[in-house]
Amino acid sequence: MERPVKVLFFLDGVGNGGGIQEMVIRWMQHIDRSRVAADLLAFRFGPLDNYEERFRACGGSTQLLPPPSDGFLRSYRAVKNFFRAHAGEYDILHVHGSSKLFYVLALAKKYGVPVRILHNHANRFQQRSPLKLLFANFLKLPLRHYANRYYTCSMQAGSWLFGRRAAKAGKIRVIPNAIEMKPFRFDEAVRRETRAALGLEENALAVGSVGRLTRQKNHAFLLDVFAALKKIRPDALLLIVGRGELEEPLRAKAKALGLENNVRFLGVRDDVPALLQAFDLLVMPSVFEGLPVVGVEAQAAGLPCLFSDAITEEAVLLDSTGRLSLTEPPEVWARRITTLASCGRTPDAGQRLSKQGYEIGEAAKALEALYLQEAQTARAQKGETA
């Protein structure tokens, strides 16, 4: 019997929540372990949650390393020691991240990992410093060299990191941010129960936001939008799910705007499917993004959504989802929210998304087949027999 393909997932951090982490768990839950055996290597960021335990429950081992923020040389040595200790063990390294992770791919190559996938999920860098942006763009070159497979959540994000030439040559493969549809299927009873638990009035307009409280997600602008919305819909409430370094400044801004009784910070939650039932609309005014998983989840629940135009147009999966420029003032965003919210739920949302490739069962089978193909090709190139 042919041995299973050995895959090592690399995440840019665990312990801080996030859609990429959840996507990897979903793959692990649906991939045939007798054909693909996967482990996890990651940087340790944020307060630890139960992610390691959940990953191990799916059949893989985990190891957390110090991030570059703890000192680049310390992080580099830790990554080097890992790959040296596991030289020749893995067929595939599947890295989720950006150009700063070039050395992870370089060390994987040095210690014998034949297939090195870089999976991009964003369409711009987080840095604002011109010098740091210049350096980050320079690092795209070694990144493209040490990665020999280019994956992305959307072609827009892939072209940004890997280049238009790679896109035109067909070297970039789009992997849908697929989900399990069933937990997000709209249920009126779940909606009523969740809204009651949140203390929401029956006809109140519940605007939701799900994501880390970081500059990328642009919650400061969202608060300005909500202030404008309150003038149109006095019954509106803003429910913010997530944590991050900007939580206290955002709480202070909500208070300064006189919204402290209308904006609720719900923290990290494990009942996002139920919350999406309770919301009337999801807003994502991100300053950059790839194809956000929560956007797929919200649309699977049939929920109207409003995205910034920094989010790829490929993320628009239903007619009740819109995009708007961040150059538009908060008042325009507020009016668009009321228009989209009036659309109501899309009753066959799950079926529509499944047909577009966003059902995790089918997507995981496709990824599994891709891993097997990649490993077989690499073994053949090394002269190994299947």
Indicate whether 165 and 46 sit together in one domain.
yes
pLDDT at 125 over 70: no
- Of 301, 245, 243, 304, whose CA–CA distance to 272 is shortest? 301
Considering the domain architecture, whether residues 141 and 12 belong to the same structural domain is answered as: yes
In a domain, residue 199? The reply is yes
For 263, the 3-state DSSP assignment is: strand
Res 295 pLDDT > 50:
yes
Residues 129 and 215 in one domain: no
Task: Fill in the amino acid letter for 190.
Answer: V
Q: CATH number, domain at 77?
A: 3.40.50.2000
Predicted confidence (pLDDT) per residue in 210-258, tens digit: 999 999 999 999 999 999 999 999 999 999 999 999 999 999 999 999 9
Tell whether 37 and 134 lie within a shared domain. Answer: yes
Give the alpha-carbon dihedral of 340, 341, 347, 353, to 10 degrees. Answer: 50
CB 158 within 8 A of CB 150: yes
Q: Tell me, what's the pLDDT at 129?
A: 67
Number of domain units in the chain = 2
Residues 145-156 have a mean pLDDT of 92
Nearest to 294 by CA among 346, 253, 240: 240
Question: Helices (DSSP H) in 214-312: which residue ranges?
Answer: 219-232, 247-256, 272-278, 293-300
Instruction: Tell whether 171 and 294 lie within a shared domain.
Output: no
Answer whether residue 294 is part of any domain.
yes
Pick from 102, 162, 88: nearest CA to 378: 88
pLDDT > 60? residue 16: no
Mean pLDDT value across residues 129-149: 78
pLDDT at residue 126 greater than cutoff 70? no
Predicted confidence band of residue 385 (pLDDT cuts 50, 70, 90)? very low
Instruction: Output the CA–CA distances (angstroms, integers) from residue 366 to 159, 200, 278, 361, in the order listed.
Output: 22, 41, 33, 9
Residues 186 and 287 in one domain: yes
Does residue 190 lie within any of the structural domains?
yes
- The verdict on 256 and 295 lying in the same domain is yes
The per-residue pLDDT of the chain, averaged, comes to 91
Q: Is the pLDDT of residue 124 over 70?
A: no
Within this chain, do residues 366 and 217 fall inside the same structural domain, yes or no? no
β-sheet with 172-174: strand ranges across: 62-65, 36-44, 5-14, 92-96, 115-120, 149-152, 172-174
Name the residue range of residue 306's domain: 182-352
Note whether 258 and 370 are same-domain residues. Answer: no
Of 329 and 21, the structure prediction assigns the larger pLDDT to 329
In a domain, 111, yes or no: yes
pLDDT band at 41 (very low <50, low <70, confident <90, very high): very high
The answer to whether residue 386 is domain-embedded is no
273 and 199 within one domain: yes
Residue 315 in domain: yes
Q: Which pLDDT does position 378 carry in this prediction?
A: 82
Q: What are phi and psi of 116, to 5 degrees?
A: -125, 100
Residue with tokens 């008042």: 331
Does residue 96 sit within a domain? yes
Per cent of the chain over pLDDT 70 is 92
Does residue 313 sit in the same domain as residue 203?
yes
What pLDDT was estimated at residue 68? 87
Q: Tell me if 295 is assigned to some domain.
A: yes
Chain segment 165-212, per-residue pLDDT in tens: 999 999 999 999 999 999 999 999 999 999 999 999 989 999 999 999
Select from 291, 293, 324, 290 the least CA-distant residue to 309.
Answer: 324
Q: Which residue has the higher pLDDT, 179 or 12?
A: 179
- The answer to pTM > 0.95 is no
Q: For residues 238 and 17, which has the higher predicted lDDT (pLDDT)? A: 238
Domain shared by 252 and 148, yes or no: no
